Amino acid sequence: MRGYRLWLVVILAIAAISIWMSLPDNPGIHILGMDRDVKIVQGLDLQGGSRVLLQAAPGTDFDDQTMEQAAKNVERRVNGLGVTEAVVQRQEGGRIIVELPGVRQQAVAFESIKSTGLLEFVDFSTVTPGTIPEGACILTTEQVARAEASLPEGEAPQPYDQYTCPSEDLENPVEEPALLQNGQPYRTIMTGAGLSDAAATLQGQLGTQWAVNFVVRDGGDRVSDFINYVANNANRSMAIVLDGRLISYPTIQADLAASAAAGTMDGGIITGDFTRDEAQILAAQLKYGALPIPLDIIAFDTIGPSLGQISVDRSIRAGIIGVITVLLFMLIYYRVPGIAASLALLLFAVINFALFKFIPVTLSLPAITGFLISIGTAVDGNILIFERMKEELRAGRSMDRAIEAGFERAWTSIRDSNISTIIICLILYFFGNAFGASPVQGFAITLGMGLVINLFTAVVATRTFLHTIVLLIGNQLRERQELLGV
């Protein structure tokens, strides 16, 4: 293989980076503007987490399409909070089960899942900052319009002073009356439908204050009203209201108003006394849409890992024993080529593990199973190569020609078998989008990744290592072909 010295340098560099990323105390990548943790993410069966049972609120009309959309939005929200391998599954009777690996804080899970997510930008131009506390219940024109639109035909609208918000105190669940402006609801300028993106970020000179950046949707609903309001109300307030609760009412800065007036404003920042979790929850609700119906939480369980630490330790020990057994087989049966295959197999394992931490891939039982199967395919590729090489040697070919023929003629078989299995992995991955089938995605991802990496390690890496060995002890191998496994 021409240029194998260059390939050797590339392989050693990849190995060094992969080993560094695989270290248990890896500090993460924090250079050149990249800020990324490199750590293992465990699934529900390995680390435990929470299980939440949701049900459509009493008196709510729903059908299969409504519940399906609600389940999809819940799944997007929990994934938006960084929960990987979350399972969201519909049940009969308007119920949805949500499994959240690693999430044990009830408040975070509850707020992200059940809120209907009606975000409103409200006219607070006449409100003096500090006169209304954050978290207050606010009645808006949008809330009134939605409530009246859902009334049965002929039923009279509810008076403004009878609108309430659910209590936030679980020990004192008394409905809280909504605040009015001179007996009238506050005017809604734009809803969250006018947004295209949102993200929690750190703001302030010290980078310690959490806020939510948002981007308005080009041509979105009431976006022009929003921009006009910003342009005409510099140094005045605009309220951010979520599900009837006042999140904050920041002052519109003069430079933002000037940008709106010039037609160059495409977003803004929602500030407030946010914690990290509150900012992430709000950003997820804005980005992934409102729930079509309100959901009540009727059960919550904190569950431990189904395998237990002892079982996990034993599984790791069994995996190590299996890899060592495979390495010994390759060394004993194929001898010197087995050394190259063993080095390639170790490289295969460390690259996979590094990618699991970097992406990250959630390590659940199905995901680990996919990885172990991919190890088998990596060994199978080397066996095809070495058996073909031995046939060439028995036919009287020189060692160098036999090595080249072994790789060249086995390549098509390795390529076709791996590609066909990768296609199956893609089918399994898209099948895993169905609710309750998320573990299938984990299996498909790890197996597919292993097959792609195997195309590199079983052919390029093994070939490079074998050429390097031939360069060092080629004369001895030509004189003693039994060292090649013949």
49-115+291-303 is a CATH 3.30.930.10 domain: no
**pLDDT value of residue 115:** 61
Identical fold, 49-115+291-303 and 117-276 = no
CB proximity list for 378: less than 8 A, separation 6 or greater: 344, 345, 348, 450, 453, 454, 457, 458
**pLDDT value of residue 170:** 47
CB proximity list for 191: less than 8 A, separation 6 or greater: 118, 119, 120, 121, 142, 221, 222
Question: Does the structure show a pLDDT above 90 at 192?
Answer: no
Q: Which residue has the higher pLDDT, 175 or 137?
A: 137
Question: Does the structure show a pLDDT above 60 at 252?
Answer: yes
Q: Could you say which of 1.10.3470, 2.40.10, 3.30.1360, 3.40.50 is the CATH number of the domain covering 117-276?
A: 3.30.1360
Across 224-238, 331-345, 346-360, 363-377, least confident range: 363-377
Strand partners, 274: 210
pLDDT per residue as tens digits for the range 299-314: 888 777 766 566 667 7
CB proximity list for 459: less than 8 A, separation 6 or greater: 381, 385, 407, 411, 414
Assign 328 to helix, strand or coil: helix
pLDDT per residue as tens digits for the range 388-424: 999 999 998 999 899 999 999 999 999 999 999 999 9
Arithmetic mean of pLDDT, 51-60:
84
How far is residue 230's CA from residue 236's CA, in Å, rounded to a whole number?
A: 9
Which residue, chain included where needed, has tokens 């260059």? 6
Domain ranges of the chain: 4-36+307-484, 49-115+291-303, 117-276
Q: Which fold has domain 4-36+307-484?
A: Multidrug efflux transporter AcrB transmembrane fold (1.20.1640)
The sign of the dihedral angle between the CA atoms of 115, 69, 62, 162 is: positive
Arithmetic mean of pLDDT, 257-282:
83
**pLDDT value of residue 225:** 93
Beta strands in 256-294 (DSSP E): 267-274
93: left (phi over 0), alpha (psi -120 to 50) or beta: left
